[in-house]
Structure 1
């Protein structure tokens, strides 16, 4: 009878059970602490940033909803289908309705064209109306519109018709008393270039006026508010059911100034999250490399006991999966708790409570952690299956050589997936990927060059300096990896400590104190010089007085412009409306030419310059001929330049500007903007009294909203970057620990050969301080370059050279790494060398 050999223990135990046992053993031995710290930090950072940014952006969106008095508005030129309102109510959303139309009011023998707005009792859903009982009394906030039987009006209507609160005006077939004066209307900022003053009335009174019929030109608006997720779901539902004459309007599209501020805030927040992800990934890669070194002996024993390579591969993959799920869940919990602390810190920065975050951030954080662990940690650990059994007898064989191609490929693939997935901005993702790839390659090349220079310096140095520099030269591969890891950590810290402040300060300065808060429109040509004299006499500096000409776009590049040809609602709206055109010999200071060339002087031939955003929306390219209908005739000229406009400067700006020869002969009105402090508001009334045909528009409240968004965005980014700070410190620690085992063995040999502890301690300080100095030099160079690229390419902000960055980066990192590394390795110096020599042998 032939007996079958008994199966080995490794074959008898399923791979998942063996993986679980090994994972418990490794955890008890402390070998997974560094990798666990890196993974928990990665997941916690991504999760907390996800929860945090969701809540911040929702709060910004909600606060921005004041620009449309709601979270979402459905605007149409005809009554909207009732099912749109019914569906919103069924979903638990709050609704309100408004009507706007132009009409003429009468006060005795006087008349005035006005913009009538009829609102129901629910208006406004976001923001507050601010009213005055008289022109001299302070304003008070109210949460709903006028009661039936009365109207509220703007101050300029009282000036124009010599009226006062309590007087009556006739609107159609109805005479209504003026009850209050409108000081601020939340959604007035969405379209402040309206020549007619506002009259607000109750929606219930509209039928009695007899002004609104089937053929009337009326804008119907359905306002909607609620929690962000429900509003987003409703938006998707309504977008497919809107009639052709309707469009969806949200806070971001209400005003380009507000959209620019929120977009920059969103970009900064995404950049903070991605920076945390990248730096924590570097920490995981270094921790995995250290784990490979410490697992080599155990794997060699398993190979001697008959464990095949394919079993070890499965075991390591399963062990990493179990570890990743456990640490990932812990990271999600940490991130969940952290976001409450951040939300509490930000509670005073937003009106009301921050909206609740959805659960998607938890799944995204857990998934991102597993992807990062697989990309950065799995390739080195899979190499453990290649450990030869002979390692048990010959310790000099060392750990298996990690495949550079496999490790780099896995890391880059994981990085690409995570960045594209997490960025929320394709342009930002690919620019960041290209920048990171180039930076890591350049970091490695520069680190290799510096290590080679250290090797040359070691040959000429003496004593402790020679011994310390030789430590870098003996392990060039390890030294390069350590310097690159340290460089990434220091780079993150520099971006936090210096470059971040420069970028955020530049962002804040895009809307400095003293930005224009008043607009003057409808200035007639003969009033331009007197108004300039009035402003100069009162020491008021304007942004310039510019001509404004109404024109309707007729054709682009030989093709007629038909609104129904555009799917994008904004493009359709632009194709339907008239443009405010202008002409100028010189480009404005806050306009940057990004394609083509600006014309030279007032005698330049006919041509147009177009703002880049509207060019993209309407499909306008350089060389296209634009046709406009202006003052009863058609004009045409090619587009010779595209401009990037700084909308949040609150200066006068235009989508389309022509060369003077093209439009200078057309009838035009003029427009300007200027800053008027609160204590000099009396000048506004004096200006209107001297120039009664000119319309003065106060956009101070809108300006305060945008400034508030910038301030809140900066504070949010400050806190989000704290996660990157923790990741940077972890990378530095992992870099110091990466070659700890080899350094302990070397120190034991040197101790056995007679080297004294003080001498080795000084040599160790020289080696680690030099590594920190080299890493700081590289990090400072790339921090300056990164800041410049971010300012120029992503945020369109100015960037200045900062000498403090180099001082903090080079000297600070040398001191920090030298001190931390020396203290961290000091324990190996005070131990007897015999134990380390036996372990090495």
Structure 2
């Protein structure tokens, strides 16, 4: 029993001794420059990741904030009855801003004319996000509105003025009162894309609503509560509402209220996540190479320590402590550097995107610190495991250690740490799987191709006897087989990431922008009667707007599925409840629309009663091929069998439908026609003339929505271009680390060859040839890998097609050769100038 205190004191003494030894070893290695490459790799890695993190975090939150402007608030509660006062009180208690709206259809009149209008009453403060845009007249230049209509006044759609032959300043009869027309509304942030069969807007102040006498028992009024504030408070309030919602009440967020904006934002965040992920991958390669060089240069020192009595556990604690201190110091320094660099970029970015970015959060800093430690865990631990197993016999025999098999556990932990980084920075399972799987597969393919090339080069040595420089270069490549394969793979992976990011910055961004081309339709024309189709089409063609394609539209409600009645109570998902509870916009046709693609089944057979469904709708309602859907269309029942599931490209902004039936099933039903077209600047006067000729038409301007989506595209494109600089810096570090890893071996080879009679000029030429060959092969492999991953990303993750070009191949080969040669000149300088006698004595 008396031995335990002594044993405890011995253990504590051993711990502090190991601690002091680890600290002294770190200081010694730092003074000797042994840690320089590793520290530099970690600092650049963490700085790149932290810069990307800070910028991506702030830009992402800015995009979310700006996109919230297209909802009019951070959260919207829609109800078919007045919003309870308790809901408003709860929001105000949480420090949130609130505003209410009332929407309903009603007839308005002036003189002898009358027109169905969509009335909307709003309270001061509306909208809470974004801004109304108003103009002094129809099709006149618009500007952000200040406030809402004044008392006794209304803001109206320009189309209403044409329909009733009114002008600004005239009086409009709204129910029991007369209101003065004050402005023309050109854009409402929360009007959304659900514009079909919506009458022209009349916007009035809520305080004027009682005087109209239009609110009465049985009135079909849509009530809305708009809420805005800090994200945490909004989220908490949304949770509270979710527990207190009653029938007829639903929450509309950016995801549910504006799906076209949500899709654009999702793509934007995936682009930024891709940039961060590539920065991590390149940085990981640099750390792995730096740790490998550290391990190679410390084997002899560890062997001496083992001869002097150091045990494996003591060596492990000492190395772990040293690397932990290096990791903490480098990560902290990298975070500070990343924050400083990102501040300068924020200034540039803010001037470009013309928006105020949110304040930086602490999350990217925490990510940076953890990134440095995870990079060490994933890519330095295998080297530490090998050093731990260095045998004392290495002092006498350098081939005495066989370390590869013993470090399997270290590589397993390293792979786990790497996978954690991939999952963390991807932020999207599919994106992470594609990029991580692509890079892992590329690494294996690169290693195999490099090994085959080395086998081929070993045969070429025999035909290079008359060319000493070429023979020396080929001999060096073949003799350093493992080092050459490692160098080719590391350089190819780094170049592949850079090429992939360059393609992201160009081809992928352009491919994404092609989904929303400059001439995308910005006007929708509805309520075209069947007998007006040809006349309307001819009128648009006469004005130089091209021959438009009109589509039939029929209103129908789903009432049964496979003979069983369906209703909102049959579904739990809110979106499914809403879909079943309202009428569908049905259409019919003989041909598959150009923006649609069949995923399952076949297209409609003429003469049969069949229906083709959009894939999202089919998934939400649980409908599959062969199911029979029964619709109520104006009191008549229409049954059709599902023969295909379609994928619809909503980004085209063209007319699309969830359900398309055969003409045999729907052509005889009451219907109107709809079309979309692009109205170029300067052609605005065409629309008033068209409405005067066909007073029943309704024109909707979605140009403001398109401009908002295009601004999101531009913001993300600029952010990706700026973030490219960080990944480029990490790629340069990979190149330097890959070349520096072979510096010691090259010095010994050069000394031996010079001792045998080779000149410095011959060795310099052979070194250039070797670097060109390694760089060219790495560039070729990188271009192939980047093109393959870019194609997979565009197809599976970003959901659009890209056109693969020749420039990545030329750029990859050229950058590989120039980079290897230029980087080699810096990393290997002094190798050929060191006197052979000095090198051989040190060896």
Q: Return the TM-score normalized by structure 2.
A: 0.94
Match of 2:167 in 1: 164
Measure, in 1, the Cα distance between the counterparts of 2:170 and 2:622.
Answer: 51
Maintained 8 Å contact 1:376/1:410: no
Distance of aligned partners of 1:234 and 1:637 in 2 relative to their CA distance in 1, 3 Å threshold: same
**Count of matched residue positions in the alignment of Structure 1 and Structure 2:** 835
From the superposition, tell whether residues 235 and 326 of structure 1 become closer, same or farther in structure 2 (CA, over 3 Å). Answer: farther
Greater mean deviation of Cα atoms: 432-441 or 804-813: 432-441
Does residue 586 (structure 1) correspond to residue 607 (structure 2)? The answer is: no
1:508-519 pair list within 5 angstroms: 508-519=513-524
SS at 2:512 equivalent: helix
**Is the 8 Å Cα contact of residues 374 and 410 (structure 1) preserved in structure 2?**
yes
For the 8 Å contact 1:444–1:480, the answer to whether it is kept is: yes
The farther-off stretch of 711-720 and 554-563 is 554-563
Report the alpha carbon displacement of residue 695 of structure 1 after superposing the two structures with TM.
0.7
Alpha-carbon shift at residue 9 of structure 1 (Å)? 13
- Aligned mates of 2:376, 2:87 — CA distance in 1: 46
CA contact (8 A) 2:275 2:501 kept: no
How far did residue 83 of structure 1 move? 3.7
Match of 1:22 in 2: 25
Give how far 1:262 is off: 1.8
CA contact (8 A) 1:67 1:254 kept: no
Matching residue within 257, 262, 276 for 1:259: 262
Aligned counterparts of 1:237 and 1:760: Cα–Cα separation in 2: 75
Q: Which moved more, 1:398-407 or 1:242-251?
A: 398-407
Of 309, 322, 326, which residue of structure 2 is paired with 1:306? 309
- Residue 443 (structure 2) pairs with residue 412 (structure 1): no
Partner of 2:351: 348
Pairs within 5 Å for 1:272-283: 272-283=275-286
Please give the secondary structure, in 1, of the residue aligned with 2:128. Answer: coil
Kindly indicate whether the alpha-carbon contact (under 8 Å) linking 2:780 and 2:813 is maintained by their aligned counterparts in 1.
yes
The 1:136/1:487 distance shift into structure 2, 3 A limit, reads closer
Q: How does 1:163-562 map to 2 (within 5 A)?
A: 163-213=166-216, 215-395=218-398, 397=400, 400-401=403-404, 405-406=408-409, 408-462=411-465, 463-498=468-503, 500-541=505-546, 544-556=549-561, 560-562=565-567
Per the alignment, in what secondary structure is the counterpart of residue 832 of structure 2? helix
Separation (CA, whole Å) in 2 of partners of 1:290 and 1:631: 78
The answer to whether the aligner puts 1:792 opposite 2:795 as a matched pair is yes
Partner residue, 2:741: 738
Structure 2 partner of 1:829: 832
Q: In 1, distance between residues paired with 2:671 and 2:516?
A: 29
SS of aligned partner of 2:803: coil
* Residues 311 and 796 (structure 1), Cα distance of their counterparts in 2 relative to 1, 3 Å cut: same
Report deviation, 1:775.
0.8
In the other structure, the counterpart of 1:151 is: 154
Give the superposition deviation at 1:637: 2.9
- Matched residues in 2 for 1:66 and 1:578: separation? 28
Stretches of structure 1 lacking an aligned partner (at least 5 in a row): none
How far residue 781 of structure 1 moved from its aligned partner, in angstroms, is 1.0
Aligned with 1:38: secondary structure?
helix
Q: Which of 575, 592, 601 is 1:570 aligned to?
A: 575
The offset of 1:207, in angstroms, is 2.5
Q: Provide closer, same or farther for how the CA distance between residues 516 and 783 of structure 1 changes in structure 2, counting only shifts above 3 A.
A: same
1:699 aligns with 2:702: yes
Deviations 1:179-232 (A, max 9, x none): 222232222234332431111111112223232245432222122223445434
Q: How many angstroms does 1:109 deviate by?
A: 4.2
Distance 1:737 1:669 in 2: 73
Q: Secondary structure at 1:211's aligned position in 2?
A: coil
Mapped partners of 1:655, 1:517: distance in 2:
21
The CA deviation at 1:413 is 1.7
1:594 is paired with a residue of what secondary structure?
strand
SS in 1 for 2:449: helix
Match of 2:732 among 729, 734, 754: 729
In structure 2, C-alpha distance between the alignment counterparts of 1:277 and 1:801, rounded to whole Å: 25
- Give the SS at the match of 2:251: strand
For 2:810, the equivalent position in structure 1 comes to: 807
Q: Distance in 2 between matches of 1:83 and 1:315?
A: 63
Alpha-carbon displacement from aligned partner over 1:582-614 (angstroms, at most 9, x marks no partner): 1222222222223333346xx263332222233
Quote the residue 1:142 is aligned against. Answer: 145
* Alpha-carbon separation, structure 1, partners of 2:459 and 2:141: 77
CA separation in 2, counterparts of 1:433 and 1:558?
Answer: 48
Measured in 2, the distance between the counterparts of 1:705 and 1:426 equals: 28
The corresponding residue for 1:646 is 649
Paired position in structure 2 for 1:774 = 777
Cα deviation, residue 622, structure 1: 3.5
732-741 or 352-361, larger mean C-alpha shift: 352-361
- In the other structure, the counterpart of 2:3 is none
Aligned partners of 1:140, 1:514: CA distance in 2, in Å?
Answer: 23
For the aligned residues, what is the CA RMSD? 2.6
Q: Distance in 1 between matches of 2:405 and 2:336?
A: 33
User: Per the alignment, do residues 8 and 367 of structure 1 end up closer, same or farther by CA in structure 2, a change over 3 Å counting?
Assistant: closer
Q: 1:230 to 1:157 in 2, by over 3 A?
A: same
Tell me the secondary structure at the aligned position of residue 324 of structure 2: helix
Q: Are residues 443 and 213 of structure 1, via their aligned partners in 2, closer, same or farther at CA, if it must alter by over 3 Å?
A: farther
- CA drift at 1:509: 1.9
Deviations 1:254-280 (A, max 9, x none): 333323322221111111111111121
User: Who is 2:92 aligned against?
Assistant: 89
Q: Aligned to 2:101, what secondary structure does the other structure show?
A: strand
**Alpha-carbon deviation of 1:542?**
5.3
Structure 2 Cα separation of the partners of residues 624 and 333 of structure 1? 60
Q: Deviations for 1:465-524, whole angstroms, at most 9, x for unmatched residues?
A: 121011111122221111110000111222233453111111122222221111100111
Q: Does 1:598 pair with 2:603?
A: yes
Corresponding residue of 1:749? 752
TM-score for both structures, normalised by structure 1: 0.94
Q: List runs of 5+ in structure 2 lacking aligned partners.
A: 1-5
* C-alpha distance 54-246 of structure 1, shift in aligned 2 (>3 A): farther
Mapped contact 1:116–1:199 kept (Cα < 8 A): yes
The 1:367–1:576 alpha-carbon spacing in structure 2 relative to 1, beyond 3 Å, is: farther
